[in-house]
């Protein structure tokens, strides 16, 4: 009951992304299962949640640790439970939010992998794309992900009307239905126009408004975008990960290395917090260290 109300709150009032809500629900259902098994307490009911004590919560965290759940996953699960308790207190289901006394385990932050600029230049200038619809569509997928830093989910719902050819801006709908404008590179506009002409010539009766589609004229789906990106990145890099998100990391890292302001990158990526963007400063610092080691007179 309470978990359902909480997820509805996230969906309709906080307007969280669908995948985020699913993750919250899954973590809370696992939390509920633990309390049912260990203490015969239903944290989905008012009487049950009111009986939860701090030592119960600590035993739950200990259980996650001894069952080899990674520290990053424990931190995420704790964040979901803390948000749940905060909501319950706001709605007067509980008097005190005891989760404020809990701390998440520390975990090392893995720096995002990215592709260097020379490899990306190689892809666009020498590898090449075919001139038919499929080739132009694939090129546009790679270009939009790399030149704007957008997420795969954002790319899939781009509409033709989201491209403003006059202003050179792209209208992106991000997480939580948040809207942002991202400028397109001037060199991209003639290619987008060419793609749209080919799209119209290839599919005369499209039944959807989306900018990009499959070879059958249907809306893109996650695996299609992933496979397309992997196909082309495999030609230029040996990175283990060759996902659309690698192109997002590549965009942000190249922007940072070229002197872009951190707040500007935050806005372009659609990050809610600057903390999410700051990870890219580490890659820039690493680049400076490499340059220093190579260029210093005593190196």
Name the active-site residue from 16, 24, 87, 280.
Answer: 280
Query: What average pLDDT does range 153-173 have in this prediction?
Result: 96
Rounded Cα gap, residues 175 and 154, in angstroms: 8
Name the active-site residue from 76, 86, 271, 287.
Answer: 271
Q: Is 245 a catalytic residue?
A: yes
Both 12 and 155 in a single domain?
Answer: no
Range of the domain at 17: 2-101
Rounded Cα gap, residues 196 and 203, in angstroms: 10
Q: Is residue 126 very low, low, confident or very high in pLDDT (cuts 50, 70, 90)? A: confident
Strand order in the sheet with 163-164: 163-164, 169-173, 179-183
Pairing of strands 163-164, 179-183: unpaired
Name the active-site residue from 83, 137, 151, 242.
Answer: 151
Both 139 and 68 in a single domain?
Answer: no
Q: Is 180 a catalytic residue?
A: no
Both 92 and 139 in a single domain?
Answer: no
Q: How many domains does the chain have?
A: 2
Query: What average pLDDT does range 89-100 have in this prediction?
Result: 93
Q: Is residue 94 very low, low, confident or very high in pLDDT (cuts 50, 70, 90)? A: very high
Both 125 and 258 in a single domain?
Answer: yes
Q: Provide the CATH number for the domain around residue 263.
A: 1.10.443.10
Q: Is 63 a catalytic residue?
A: no
Q: Is residue 75 very low, low, confident or very high in pLDDT (cuts 50, 70, 90)? A: confident
pTM for this one? 0.64
Name the active-site residue from 76, 82, 175, 230.
Answer: 175
Both 122 and 71 in a single domain?
Answer: no
Q: Is 282 a catalytic residue?
A: no
Both 161 and 228 in a single domain?
Answer: yes
Q: Provide the CATH number for the domain around residue 86.
A: 1.10.150.130
221-273, pLDDT tens digit by residue?
Answer: 999 999 999 999 999 999 999 999 999 999 999 988 888 888 889 999 999 88
pLDDT of 296 reads 44
Does residue 175 fall inside a structural domain? yes
pLDDT of 298 reads 46
Both 165 and 285 in a single domain?
Answer: yes
Q: Is 280 a catalytic residue?
A: yes
Task: Among 69, 101, 133, give the residue marking a domain's end.
Answer: 101
Does residue 238 fall inside a structural domain? yes
Residue with the larger pLDDT of the pair 118 and 256: 118
Percent over 70 (pLDDT), the chain? 91
Closest CA to 264 of 182, 187, 189, 184: 182
């Amino acid at each position: 009951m309470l978990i359902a109300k909480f997820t509805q709150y996230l969906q309709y009032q906080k307007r969280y992304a669908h995948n985020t809500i699913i993750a919250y629900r899954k973590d809370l259902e696992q939390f509920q299962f633990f309390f049912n098994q260990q203490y015969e307490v239903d944290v989905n009911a008012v009487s049950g949640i009111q009986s939860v004590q701090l030592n119960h919560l600590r035993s739950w965290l200990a259980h996650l640790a001894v069952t080899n759940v990674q520290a990053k996953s424990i931190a995420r699960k704790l964040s979901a439970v803390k948000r749940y308790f905060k909501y319950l207190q706001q709605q007067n289901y509980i008097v005190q939010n005891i989760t404020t006394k809990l701390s998440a385990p520390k975990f090392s932050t893995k720096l995002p992998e990215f592709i260097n600029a020379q490899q990306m230049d190689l892809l666009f200038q020498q590898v090449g794309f075919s001139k038919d619809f499929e080739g132009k569509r694939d090129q546009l997928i790679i270009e939009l992900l790399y030149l704007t830093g957008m997420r795969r989910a954002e790319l899939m719902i781009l509409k033709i009307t989201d491209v403003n050819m006059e202003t050179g801006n792209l209208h992106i709908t991000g997480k939580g239905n948040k809207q942002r404008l991202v400028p397109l590179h001037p060199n991209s506009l003639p290619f987008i126009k060419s793609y749209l002409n080919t799209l119209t010539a290839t599919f005369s009766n499209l039944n959807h408004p989306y900018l990009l589609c499959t070879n059958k004229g249907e809306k893109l789906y996650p695996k299609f975008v992933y496979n397309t990106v992997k196909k082309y990145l495999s030609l230029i890099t040996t990175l283990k990960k060759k996902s659309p998100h690698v192109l997002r990391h590549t965009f942000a890292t190249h922007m940072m290395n070229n002197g872009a302001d951190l707040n500007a990158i935050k806005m372009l990526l659609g990050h809610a917090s600057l903390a999410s963007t700051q990870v890219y400063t580490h890659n820039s610092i690493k680049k400076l260290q490499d340059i220093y080691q190579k260029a210093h007179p005593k190196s």
